[in-house]
Structures are given as C-alpha cells and as structure tokens.
C-alpha cells in the first residue's frame, strides 16, 4: 500500500483520499494500483454500498499524472515505463466508469489531467468555489487523455474541442453549467456532506441536493456562441483561420486572445486532440475510447514534442517550446494516422 493515498472504510462507505500534497496529489503508478485494488475489493463486498473519492489536504484535488516520470521514461527507456503507467491508469479510469456502486468525487481545488480522469467517470461529481478544472495537455505536447476524448466530445456544442485545444480553466460554477460536475457545494459544506453520506449511503443524491449552494453565473456561458462558431471545424487550420479572420472583427479581443493561446500549443497534439474527439463521439463503449487513447499515448510519449513541452513548461519554465513539426501545416495526415494506428495485438490496451 502506498502512503500517497489513504484507503479505509467508514461503515457502509469506502473512502479513497489522495495524499500527496506537495505534488497537488498527482497520480503515481503505485497510487493507481492502490485505488484499483481497493475498488476491486469493495466491488465484491456487500457491506460497502458507496465510495467517496477526495483529497486529504492542500489546494488540489488532483493536478494530473506523474509528468516527471513520464518525461524520464521518454528520454531514458524509450517510453516503456511511461506506457505501463498509461496502461494501468487507463484501467483505473475504466474501472471507475463501469463501477457497480456509486462513487462520489469531491473536486475541491485543482482538478486537471489525471484528476479529471478519476473524477469524471464517477456518478456524483461535486464542484466548489475552489474547483479549477482543465485539460492543459496540448501545452506540453501531450493530449487530453484519461478518458478526455469520451468526456469532452459529449459536452454541448464545441465546448470540448475548445477546452482540449486551449487548456482553458473552468471554475466550479462553469463545471456545473457544462455538466462536468453534477453538484455545486460551498467548500465549508463538504465535511457535512461526507458525514451524512457515510450515515446514509442510500441517499447521496438527496444529501448533495440539500447542501447545494447557488453558484455564480458561469462566465463561459457568454462565450459559447463564439466557441461554437470559431471552433466549429475538426481542422486545426480552419479554427486558426476563423480566429485570425475575426481578430479585428466583432469578437476581436476574444479571438485574438484565443489565437495567441493556440499559437503556444503543440500543433501535432492539437491535431491529435481534434481527431481523438471526433472519433470518440461515435464510440458506444468507454473501453473503445481507452483503447484509442492508449494507442495515441504509446506514440506521443516518444515523439519530440512531449519531452520538449515538459522541459519548456514544467522543468525549465522558460515557456518557449520548440515544437516539431513547428507549424500546423507541417503535421501531415500520415503522421496523425500513424499515431492512431492499432498496436500489435499483444500490446493493445485491455480493461482490468
């Protein structure tokens, strides 16, 4: 058992509490394995009726996955240990998605990347005034994985494509409005919510509704029409051209800001994300989505953009990644095809 996640039960409720505060509870492989094992145990335990998923302390629910380890793998073992991490993390995402008992995720604080992957499959997803949700992977040459293709492609209009490409952050009110969260509670009500759920695991929906707060007006709602218009295409070049054409028009300030944001992202992974979401929208089985994302992850981790993006954004913090290919036009359809191609049969992703 890893010390980075606390696992116990209270009466009829299983409790998983992420406890790696210095890393904002970013997931390690050991943490994923510990969570999967607990969920497997509770699945067959008739005494456990529901599961609470939260974090022990600090300002993050979960900031993502173990990016340092992934970059180290890309540079030193040809991505082998990185692929193992993705494979087993995706098994945890799928396990949560198909879990037979209700799971309540308390997304109080930073919920990004790997944190999104463990929160969004849950039946109940509680946001607060502290929630900061994002899938910022295109900024480091990665892509919105951990089920992001499935979840983002099912948001209203082109909101998912906008979030995948720009890495925009949503607050708790915006998460509720978008359907990313099922409930919005003031952070000072969370302890009471958990205590009452432990007492009455058969009344989760009612308890969360009774304690729900009134969120502020979601800011992003005012931009949805612009998002739907400018991000309408599955072609990255079309999206850039649309924003460029309006940079001096009616949406000038907004269009120019989003255009500047997109210019900092990996062109390769922006194109990957658009195809990922377009494909995922048609999947009827979450396992098919995870199989696709594992194929992508297996290729992208050893492509130049990932190690370079992590260097520029996280390691050196210079913010000057040299993307390769450097332009959207340089990212060929053949390259994208190769990233999405099936793996050899004995290397494909499989559920637990």
Q: Catalytic site residues?
A: 65, 114, 137, 145
Q: The tokens of 92 are what?
A: 């945890």
CA distance 307 to 336: 18
Q: The tokens of 284 are what?
A: 């009827």
Q: How many CB atoms lie within 10 A of CB 213?
A: 17
Residue 174 in contact with residue 218, Cβ under 8 Å?
yes
Nearest CA among 316, 299, 343 for reference residue 141: 299
Rounded to the nearest 10 degrees, how much is the dihedral formed by the CA atoms of 127, 131, 136, 142? -60
Query: For 93-108, b where at least 16 C-beta lie within 10 A, e where not — what string?
Result: bbbbbebebbbbbbbb
Q: The tokens of 239 are what?
A: 């999206």
Residue 308 in contact with residue 324, Cβ under 8 Å?
yes
CA atoms within a 13 Å half-sphere pointing along the CA-CB vector of 135 = 29
Q: The tokens of 162 are what?
A: 């906008």
In the chain the beta strands, taken as DSSP E runs, fall at 5-10, 13-18, 50-55, 60-62, 103-107, 110-112, 124-127, 132-134, 170-171, 183-184
Nearest CA among 9, 16, 18 for reference residue 49: 9
Residues 6+ apart with CB under 8 A from 195: none
């Amino acid at each position: 058992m890893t010390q980075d996640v606390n696992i116990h039960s209270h009466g009829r409720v299983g409790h998983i509490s992420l406890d790696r505060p210095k890393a904002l509870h970013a997931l390690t492989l050991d943490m994923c394995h510990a969570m999967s094992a607990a969920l497997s145990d509770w699945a067959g335990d008739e005494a456990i009726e529901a599961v609470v998923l939260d974090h022990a302390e600090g300002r993050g629910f979960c900031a993502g996955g173990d990016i340092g380890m992934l970059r180290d793998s890309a540079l030193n073992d040809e991505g082998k240990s990185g692929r193992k991490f993705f494979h087993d993390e995706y098994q945890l995402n799928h396990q949560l998605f198909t879990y037979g008992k209700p799971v309540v995720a308390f997304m109080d604080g930073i919920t990004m990347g790997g944190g999104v992957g463990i929160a969004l499959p849950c039946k109940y997803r509680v946001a607060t005034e502290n929630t900061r949700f994002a899938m910022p992977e295109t900024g480091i040459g990665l892509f919105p994985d951990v089920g992001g293709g499935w979840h983002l492609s099912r948001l209203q209009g082109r909101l998912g494509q906008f979030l995948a490409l720009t890495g925009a952050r949503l607050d708790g009110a915006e998460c509720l409005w978008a359907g990313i969260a099922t409930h919005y509670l003031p952070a000072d009500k969370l302890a009471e919510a958990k205590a009452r759920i432990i007492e009455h695991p058969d009344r989760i929906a009612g308890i969360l509704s009774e304690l729900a707060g009134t969120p502020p007006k979601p800011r992003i709602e005012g931009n949805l029409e612009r998002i739907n218009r400018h991000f309408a295409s599955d072609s990255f070049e079309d999206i850039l051209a649309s924003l460029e054409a309006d940079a001096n028009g009616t949406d000038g300030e907004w269009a120019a800001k989003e255009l500047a944001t997109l210019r900092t992202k990996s062109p390769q992974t922006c194109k990957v994300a658009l195809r990922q979401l377009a494909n995922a929208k048609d999947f009827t089985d979450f396992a098919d989505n995870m199989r696709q994302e594992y194929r992508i992850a297996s290729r992208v981790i050893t492509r130049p953009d990932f190690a370079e993006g992590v260097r520029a954004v996280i390691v050196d913090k210079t913010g000057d990644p040299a993307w390769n290919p450097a332009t959207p036009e340089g990212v060929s359809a053949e390259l994208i095809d190769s990233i999405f191609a099936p793996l050899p049969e004995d290397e494909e992703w499989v559920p637990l």
